[in-house]
Amino acid sequence: MAMPLLTSGDRDHIVPDLAAHAPVANLRDAEVEEELDAMVTSVGQLDYQLPDQVMVTTMAYMARLTEMWMHMSRNEGRHKRAKLLKVQVQKVMDLMDFQFKAASRILETMKFEMELSK
């Protein structure tokens, strides 16, 4: 399942439409893994976005991942696969954090280069 995307009217960037997703408590394990796979796949498409757009996208994904992580933490004792899913969610969170930081540094470099060209 591909991550549904939402374009916001007058803006050029694309952000995940998180409203299209079910609450984490209602998701089956396979659906959580499918959503994680869609997020990881979309990281490859971030190369074609401007750094500020990458930052917006990764922030939206991080919000959803945090929701998943919290749910998995609460259910570790009751749900056998929750611990495994929590590890997977953490790995994707780490990836999104790296993407955000890289985009932030690229944006700062672009600003610095503009300042130097004045």
Query: In which domain, by residue range, is 88 found?
Result: 50-110
6 pLDDT above the threshold of 70: no
Per the structure, the count of domains in the chain is 1
Structure confidence at residue 12 (pLDDT): 45
Interatomic CA distance for residues 92 and 86, integer angstroms: 10
> What's the rounded Cα separation, in Å, for the pair 35 and 3?
7
Confidence of residue 90 (pLDDT cuts 50, 70, 90): very high
- The percent of residues in the chain predicted with pLDDT above 90, rounded, is 52
pLDDT tens-digit series, residues 40-66: 999 888 888 899 999 999 999 999 999
pLDDT, tens digit, 9 for 90 and up, residues 63-82: 999 999 998 888 888 888 88
116 within domain boundaries: no
CA pair distance 109, 107, nearest whole angstrom: 5
Predicted local confidence at residue 16, as pLDDT: 54
The mean of the pLDDT values for the chain is 83
At 33, which helix (H) or strand (E)? Answer: helix 29-43
Q: Does residue 3 surpass a pLDDT of 70?
A: no
pTM of the model as a whole: 0.76
* Half-sphere exposure in the Cβ direction for 73 (13 Å, CA): 8
**C-beta neighbour count of 8 within 10 angstroms:** 10
pLDDT digits (tens, 9 = 90+) for 14-30: 455 555 556 777 778 88
